Structure 1
């Protein structure tokens, strides 16, 4: 979490000392081109300053390491994609704010969030540069057990063992799954597919995406209200970046609670399809490939982890409290982080589960 802490401190310093107003133009007299040039340099500098955290998190402390040239190439590609997204967002917001006012700017912000959500699978493939191939035979059997057509699966080959894929757009039509899962027993693989089917059919995926868009949009409005910033100027964009970084940090603190509830419910829904034993096996195997934390202290899990520890998930599964309902929003916290690319959030790829791991920047680790 050191990267998140550094981002929060930096954002706080920018706002307290009003640094954007000192280093950037505060009026619309500066042309759009010159304003975006200054903001683009700041965006590039921000990515460079976090290189050390990415290096530690993605190249040194991970269990399955890439060679240095491969990791650096992946990091540069991911950072470049994020910079392009930030610049396109900045240009759209600035031009709209200068020509059409506040309401239209909020509408453009919502549109950008929707585009990022809709093309999540495409951008994940560009960022991670993973190969897509035919589904191994075990996927066909598991898909049949889970009740999902094999044609809806996209099997991605990525070396990052924390990659779990997910639904690739706003509406759950195409499911990205890692080729690594062919190493799972067929019943455990079926359990993973069944939980994703349940998340889609119950509307929990859509609610997670819509909830994340609403959360980020509320932050966009609040930040402008509290700071008086406007995306019409270079200083305003940098101020909004700092404010949205702090807003995203609030999301890291509070959104994991509803996210954990959806994970528990998805476990129970999957168990109703393939049985509890298969779900238990899948929970244990996937946790070994990700955090590998059997237990966590209550406070750490309550604040920072949208996916419960495997001990808690197994215990809750035995309690049989019911499956997904109309109020569950799956991956609310992690959708908000990914969509933070459309709000210039500096911590969208700096949390403990994806720092320095480009394969996990668009599709974060999950259940």
Structure 2
């Protein structure tokens, strides 16, 4: 069912309404994390020593994680069931939400278990090493996790997409087409080495030249190393935050209280990433646009950029301040205005989707911020593979 736009307040667009919701959700997460740290709530209600047994400590951690899921239910409900273009039956949305939060809770618990065991065996250095390995695992299985979180079926590759992939110089055997009911789902590369390209079945509706251009951009993201740099850069950013959080809080994830304190501190670090990482992410988008335009021309790129943006926020123009802080993908008017072909536009410092890879990988630090941002709040199909270019 399509969203009746007249239900929004006068002068508020769909994209801006979601932005306000994201600001509120992210702000609430930051305030909650700040309160946990400032008032030392974990040390008041949870054990801060490794003397407590692992099962007892994890039981308490699991209860706190479950509380976090419930605490964000209101934002998820608005962002997933009301403030969307295509509404579903409440029971359908609730079933999908329950599946998504259950998977996230499970990932958090697995991460907490590994961090706790590592810290008890080898101290904080071992915990840091485990956190890096968890991020590598999350990056490697990103595509599979997207299917598990939202239960999106894989379908045979349509002939139109296979033909466009061939035109883009992309091996069709590396393309995995999934059927998502969320029109904002754009898929992306899964794995550190860009082994599998997840493509939404909806893309079959793109004009064939535009479809080939969008697939070419994805291929260039892999062959130029921009995808790998985005993932590795996100891991480095998160790992620095992990080390800083351990140092500033003085805790160890060897205890229940230590895990929750660390999760709260990493939520603040993730928030810092939300503010800083969109700028280098936008630079990578412009560079890939230019590299693809050099091969296919401006018109197929313009068509693809316009349609994908319409399926997502449909916000052609944004104020510079709003885009700088909140949007790792530039508005479509700015992107189209800069469609000047340059095959060597992608430089060694361009990291594609740096900001959004960093958010996904924070699941390994048990933070809720990755699903509170405006682009994916309440929409489980977008939690692992956030909307993009």
Matched, 1:302 2:324: yes
Q: Distance in 2 between matches of 1:240 and 1:103?
A: 14
Residue 223 (1) aligns with residue 245 (2): yes
Question: Aligned residue for 2:61?
Answer: 39
Candidates 278, 281, 291, aligned match of 1:269: 291
Cα distance between partner residues in 2 of 1:22 and 1:108: 27
Q: Paired residue for 2:356?
A: 334
Pair 1:349 & 2:362 matched: no
Alignment match of 2:124 (pick from 99, 102, 126): 102
Q: CA deviation at 1:128?
A: 1.2
Shift of 1:78: 0.6
Q: How does 1:49-128 map to 2 (within 5 A)?
A: 49-128=71-150
Q: Aligned Cα RMSD in Å?
A: 1.1
Mapped to 2, the partners of 1:110 and 1:343 lie a distance apart of 10
Q: TM-score scaled by structure 2?
A: 0.93
Structure 1 residue 119: deviation in Å?
A: 0.6
Q: 1:253 aligns with which of 258, 266, 275?
A: 275
Aligned length: 367
Which stretch of the first structure deviates more once superposed, 103-112 or 313-322? 313-322
Q: Contact (CA 8 Å) 1:93, 1:109: kept in 2 or not?
A: yes
Instruction: State the shift of 1:93 in Å.
Output: 0.5
Structure 2 distance, partners of 1:45, 1:250, is 24
- 1:190 is aligned to 212
Shift of 1:67: 1.9
Given the alignment, which residue of 148, 154, 172 partners 2:176?
154
Matches of 1:366 and 1:44, distance apart in 2: 29
TM-score, scaled relative to structure 1: 0.98
* Farther-moved stretch of structure 1 (179-188 vs 23-32): 23-32
Answering whether residue 257 of structure 2 is matched by residue 241 of structure 1, we say no
Structure 1: distance between partners of 2:125 and 2:295: 46
- C-alpha distance after superposition, 1:138-186 (max 9, x if no partner): 1122112111011111000010000000011111111000000111000
CA distance, structure 2, for counterparts of residue 2 and residue 261 of structure 1: 27
Paired residue secondary structure (1:348):
helix
> 2:342, 2:328 → 1: CA distance?
20
Aligned: 1:366 with 2:388: yes
Q: C-alpha separation between the residues in 2 aligned to 1:144 and 1:98?
A: 52
Q: Shift of the alpha carbon at 1:324?
A: 1.2
Tell whether the 8 Å contact from 1:146 to 1:273 is kept in structure 2 after alignment.
Answer: no
Bigger drift between 61-70 and 41-50 goes to: 61-70
Q: Which runs of 5+ in 1 are unaligned?
A: none
Are 2:292 and 2:341, in contact at CA under 8 Å, matched by a contact in 1?
A: no
Secondary structure in 2 matching 1:101:
helix
**Aligned partners of 1:145 and 1:274 also within 8 Å:** no
Deviation at 1:105, TM superposition (A): 1.3
1:139 equivalent to 2:153? Answer no
Aligned partners of 1:4, 1:174: CA distance in 2, in Å?
31
Residue 279 of structure 1 corresponds to 301
Alpha-carbon distance between aligned partners in 2 of 1:347 and 1:121, rounded to the nearest angstrom: 20
